[in-house]
Amino acid sequence: MQRTALISGISGQDGSYLAELLTSKGYHVVGILRRSTHYHHPNIAHLYGKIQLEYGDVLDEANLTQIIRECQPDEIYHLAAQSVPADSWRQPLVTAEITALGTLRMLEAARLEAPHARFYQATSREIFGGVAQEVCDEETPTIANNPYGIAKVFAHQMMQTYRESYGMFACGGILFNHESPRRSLHFVTRKITMAAACIALGVSDPPLNELGEPLIQDRRLQLGNLDAVRDWGYAREYVDAMWRMLQCAEPRDFVIATNQCHTVRELCRIAFAAVDLDWQNHVVVDERFLRPTEINAARGDYSAAKAALGWQPETSFEDLIQMMVEADIQLLRKRK
Ligand code: NDP
Ligand code: GDP
C-alpha cells in the first residue's frame, strides 16, 4: 500500500529535497505550507502536481491537528522552523514560538491524531553550541548558547519525552550545517556563492542581504567573522539520512555530519576561485554581521549513523561550494 509522508517546512531547502526523495520512493507526499500573500515557492515549483500541499502553520495547533487527522500520515517529518540562528537574537520570541513550541504543537497533534506515525524532528548541532569539545556525537551533553539553539534543545528534549512517555516512534536527527543551491541567502555559504556569481557576471541589481541591503556594493561583499568554523555537508545527502532514521526497527537519535571543518575564509577562497577571482579583493568585514556569541568549532562524528543506517557523506566541501557558485551563475543568467 502506498505510504503517506507529511512534511512541515516543505518550501525550505530540506523539505524540497526530502519531497523529491520520497516521491521517487513512491510515497504520497503532503506538505505543509504557511499562508502568505505571495505564491513564490521556487524550491518546490518543480513538484507542483506531484505532491499535495496544505496550508498550515506551526503556530496554530488546531490547524495541524486537522491536517494530520485528514491525511493520516505513516511518517511525519517536522522540518518547519525559524531556522536562522543569526536572526534568533533579533527575534527570540518568534524563534521560541515557531522552533520550540511549534514542535510541541506538532508532537501533540501527532499524538492525538496519528500516534503510530513515525516522527522525525529536525534537531540541530546548535544544541551543542556551548560545548568545548572538538568532536560531538550522540552522547555529547546539550549546552546551547543562542536563542535558536535553546529552542532546538527544547524541541529535541520534548520529542524524546514524547517517545519515552507515549511510546511514539520519534527520532531526532542532530544535523550539522548542510547547504545547497537552495540554501537561503541568510546563511554564509549562499551569501558568498551568490556574491561571487554576481561579481563575476557584473550584476547591477543583486539580491538583498539579511539586513535588506544590496548583497554586493562596489563589487564588495560584507561578512562577519571570517575565522568562524563549521562542519558543512550537502543537503541532498542529509535528507536521505532523515528517511533512513524512520526506517529503523527502533527509534534512535543520530548525528549527521561530515566530521570535517572549514573556516569562512576558506569558503570565500573556494567560491571566488571558482569564478577566477581573488576573494581578498572582494570581501570586507563589517561588524554588523558579528554575533554576540559564536558556537564553538566542532565536527560531528557520524560513525553511529554509518554503522546503523549505512549513511555517509559523499560530496566534498570544495565540490559543494563550486556546485553552489555554478548554480547561482545559471540562476542569474536565467534572470537576465
Ligand atoms: P529553511 O529555513 O530552508 O526552511 C524552513 C521551513 O520552515 C520553510 O519552509 C518555512 O516556510 C517553514 N516555516 C517557518 N515558519 C513556519 C511556520 N510558522 N509554520 C509553518 N512553516 C513554517 O530550513 P532548512 O530546510 O535548512 O532546515 C530544515 C530544518 O532543519 C529546520 O528545522 C532547521 O532548523 C533544521 N536544521 C537545519 C540545518 C541546516 O544546516 N540546514 C542544520 C540543522 C537543523 P517559508 O518558506 O514560508 O519561510
Ligand atoms: P549557522 O551555523 O546556522 O549560524 O549558519 P550561518 O551560515 O548563518 O553561519 C555560519 C558561520 O558563518 C557563523 O559562525 C557566522 O558567524 C559566520 N559568518 C561570517 N560572516 C557571516 C555573514 O555575513 N552572515 C552569516 N549568516 N554568517 C556569517
Any domain includes 215: yes
**Catalytic option among 126, 179, 210, 237:** 126
The distance from CA 139 to its chain's CA centroid, rounded to whole angstroms, is 22
Per-residue pLDDT tens for 147-164? 999 999 999 999 999 999
Count of domains in the chain?
2
Helix (H) or strand (E) holding 4: strand 4-8
Q: Please indicate whether residue 291, judged by its CB atom, sits closer than 6 Å to ligand 2.
A: yes
Give the residue-averaged pLDDT of 311-335.
Answer: 97
> In terms of residue numbers, what domain contains 324?
188-229+261-293+316-335
Give the number of the ligand closest to the Cα of residue 15. Answer: 1
Any domain includes 303: no
Nearest CA to ligand 1 atom 20: 57
Find cell 488546531 and name the residue. 62
Give the residue-averaged pLDDT of 288-302.
Answer: 91
Same domain, 252 and 266: no
Same domain, 208 and 137: no
Per-residue pLDDT tens for 155-193? 999 999 999 999 999 999 999 999 999 999 999 999 999
Same domain, 72 and 23: yes
Cα dihedral sign, 84-101-150-90:
positive
Any domain includes 304: no
Contact 255, 174 (CB under 8 A): yes
Any domain includes 31: yes
Any domain includes 75: yes
Any domain includes 13: yes
Any domain includes 302: no
Say whether pLDDT at 297 is over 90: no
Same domain, 120 and 104: yes
Query: What is the CATH number for 322?
Result: 3.90.25.10
CA of residue 9 to ligand 1 center, whole Å: 5
Query: What is the CATH number for 248?
Result: 3.40.50.720
Pairing of strands 52-55, 75-78: unpaired
Question: Catalytic: 303?
Answer: no
DSSP string, 166-186: H---EEEEEEPPEE-TTS-TT
Same domain, 105 and 163: yes
pTM of the model: 0.98
Tell me the three state secondary structure of residue 275.
Answer: coil
Burial 248-263 (b: 16+ CB within 10 A, else e): eeebebbbbbbbebbe
User: Cα–Cα distance between 36 and 228 in angstroms, integer?
Assistant: 34
